[in-house]
């Protein structure tokens, strides 16, 4: 019997992280925070807590609410905790790489949770390997621990700073010691990390929606190049590396983050509506309806509708009970995978011209099925509008993307893509409008997936070599 993987052809984030210090129910707050960040990773989740001396861990494959039973939470005592939720492609997902990672070394008993990707991890791994380090996981994150353990700094803070100065790439980190919590962002600030307060307790999380659920207030972001140390002595801010040109991940605003979150200090919903408004200006569509691909396409579609004056309608309904895999009948149903998630509202579509708003086209296969679904439901015309530029390059900074070869826009013209997906017209937002929509006057955002220009040297080199070799 064939069990298929339900994929929606989006880029996927690698994870969400959370940290709590100074609360009697630290692990329960971490659990609620992870629950609010569940959209950032549904493959595995873990929490490590400390009671001031002993670290306890629970991690498993699955969803946050399934892993953290009353019994599991009872095994996570203490006043501080970190949590991690992770997405991973089916192939290499395994409990081995689930986080947090818990270790013992000369700097103590430590746990770490990482959102991002270290671009020089492979290089370091070769070196450490040569020097006799042994690796338990295939994750880049483990390198940080090895560098810390080999640092001559006598204290944890110094060793951590030492280690971080040697790695390159994208990292937002939570690190838990026996009685201290660190929250760290790389000097370019690729990935988000927000700092909040709940009474006397401190909380950090990838997105502010985690604060809302537990009733915490959002203070500020952990800054690029900042290491925040929280302990019994309170909060201490340490600049562990000189500032670099900021490179906030623009795709957080386009797709990843929840619209009710603040990310990089800016409301995500505001960005998304503006993406839709600017898209309507750049690529007007003479249609009867504006229909989003739910749920992620909704805010941009609302923006598009508001700007164009064309009515917004929920022409596609999403089934929210869908799991990650599904048993397909042997007599295959056309577009089965998409139908499990989306169903057209025939009454709205029949005989209408539709502006279909989505946030990205990755391989194009899902878009093609959705367009076909709309036509079969009676739409007379389908004009596809994408709230960002063509995605032409993979991400090296913590996002799970297909290879360049699989990215339809890396290989094909917009007209070819339009033809492939079967739309009557296709419009992508321009890079300038994208920057404008997220308020990026000072070019602090990374847009490498749209430009192929990478802000870190090693990646630049690799990409150049790869290009030559073709």
- Binding to a copy of itself in span 247-266, by CB under 8 A: 258-260
Is residue 161 helix, strand or coil?
A: helix
Site string for a copy of itself, 412-441 (x = CB under 8 A): ------------------------------
Alpha carbons 291 and 278: distance in angstroms, whole number: 16
Alpha carbons 133 and 147: distance in angstroms, whole number: 10
Alpha carbons 217 and 197: distance in angstroms, whole number: 5
Contact 406, 422 (CB under 8 A): no
Residue at token pair 């030492």: 162
| Closer by beta carbon to a copy of itself, 190 or else 256 | 256
- 82: tokens are 């970190």
Alpha carbons 377 and 115: distance in angstroms, whole number: 41
Known catalytic residue at 15: yes
| Closer by beta carbon to a copy of itself, 334 or else 453 | 334
Alpha carbons 192 and 263: distance in angstroms, whole number: 6
Q: H or E element: which one contains 374? A: helix 365-376
Site string for a copy of itself, 139-178 (x = CB under 8 A): ------xx--xxx---------------------------
Alpha carbons 40 and 143: distance in angstroms, whole number: 23
State which of positions 310-339 bind a copy of itself (CB under 8 A). Answer: 311-314, 317, 319-323, 326-327, 329-331, 333-334, 339
Report in angstroms how near the CB of residue 228 gets to a copy of itself at its nearest: 23
Report in angstroms how near the CB of residue 154 gets to a copy of itself at its nearest: 12
Contact 380, 353 (CB under 8 A): yes
| Diameter over CA atoms, the chain | 72
Site string for a copy of itself, 395-414 (x = CB under 8 A): --------------------
Report in angstroms how near the CB of residue 344 gets to a copy of itself at its nearest: 7
Report in angstroms how near the CB of residue 342 gets to a copy of itself at its nearest: 9
Pairing of strands 353-358, 289-292: parallel
Site string for a copy of itself, 374-393 (x = CB under 8 A): --------------------
Which residue of 184, 204, 209, 356 would you call a contact of a copy of itself, by CB under 8 A?
Answer: 209
Q: Is residue 77 at the binding interface for a copy of itself, with CB under 8 A as the rule?
A: no
Rg (CA), the chain: 23
Q: Which stretch binds a copy of itself (CB under 8 A): 97-105, 356-364, 430-438, 450-458?
A: 97-105
Which residue of 129, 243, 419, 457 would you call a contact of a copy of itself, by CB under 8 A?
Answer: 129
State which of positions 7-66 bind a copy of itself (CB under 8 A). Answer: 24-25, 28-29, 31-32, 35-36, 38-39, 42, 57, 63-66
Contact 62, 98 (CB under 8 A): no
Catalytic residue ranges:
15
């Amino acid at each position: 019997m064939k069990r298929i993987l339900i994929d929606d052809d989006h880029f996927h984030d690698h994870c969400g992280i959370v940290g709590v210090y100074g609360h009697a129910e630290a692990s329960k707050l971490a659990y609620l925070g992870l629950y609010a960040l569940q959209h950032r990773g549904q493959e595995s989740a873990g929490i490590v807590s400390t009671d001031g001396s002993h670290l306890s861990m629970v991690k498993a494959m699955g969803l946050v609410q399934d892993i953290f039973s009353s019994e599991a939470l009872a095994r996570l005592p203490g006043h501080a905790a970190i949590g991690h939720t992770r997405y991973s492609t089916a192939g290499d997902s395994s409990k081995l790489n689930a986080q947090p990672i818990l270790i013992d070394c000369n700097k103590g008993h430590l746990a770490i949770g990482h959102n991002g990707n270290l671009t020089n991890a492979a290089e370091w791994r070769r070196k450490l390997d040569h020097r006799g380090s042994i690796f338990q996981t295939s994750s880049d994150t483990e390198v940080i621990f090895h560098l810390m353990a080999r640092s001559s700094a006598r204290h944890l803070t110094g060793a951590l700073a030492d280690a971080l100065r040697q790695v390159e790439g994208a990292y937002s980190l939570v690190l838990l010691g026996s009685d201290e919590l660190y929250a760290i962002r790389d000097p370019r600030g690729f990935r988000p990390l927000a700092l909040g307060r709940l009474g006397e307790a401190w909380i950090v999380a990838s997105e502010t929606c985690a604060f809302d659920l537990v009733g915490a207030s959002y203070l500020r972001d952990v800054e690029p190049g900042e290491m925040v140390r929280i302990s019994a002595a309170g909060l201490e801010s340490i600049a562990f590396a000189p500032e670099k040109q900021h490179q906030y991940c623009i795709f957080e605003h386009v797709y990843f983050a929840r619209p009710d979150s603040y990310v990089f200090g800016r409301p995500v919903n505001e960005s998304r509506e503006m993406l839709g408004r600017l898209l309507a200006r750049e690529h007007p569509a003479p249609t009867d309806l504006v229909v989003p691909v739910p749920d992620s396409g909704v805010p941009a579609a609302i923006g598009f509708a508001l700007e164009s004056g064309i009515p917004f309608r929920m022409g596609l309904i999403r089934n929210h009970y869908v799991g990650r895999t599904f048993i397909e009948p042997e007599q295959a149903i056309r577009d089965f995978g998409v139908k499990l998630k989306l169903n057209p509202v025939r009454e709205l579509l029949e005989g209408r011209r539709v502006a279909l708003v989505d946030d990205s086209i990755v391989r194009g296969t899902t878009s093609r099925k959705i367009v076909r679904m709309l036509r079969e439901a009676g739409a007379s015309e389908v004009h596809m509008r994408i709230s960002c530029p063509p995605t032409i390059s993979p991400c090296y900074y913590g996002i799970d993307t297909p290879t360049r070869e699989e990215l339809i826009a890396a290989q094909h013209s917009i007209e070819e893509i339009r033809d492939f997906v079967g739309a009557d017209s296709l419009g992508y937002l321009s890079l300038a409008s994208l920057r404008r929509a997220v308020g990026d006057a000072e070019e602090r955002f990374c847009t490498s997936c749209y430009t192929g220009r990478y802000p870190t040297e090693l990646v630049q080199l690799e990409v150049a070599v790869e290009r030559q070799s073709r």
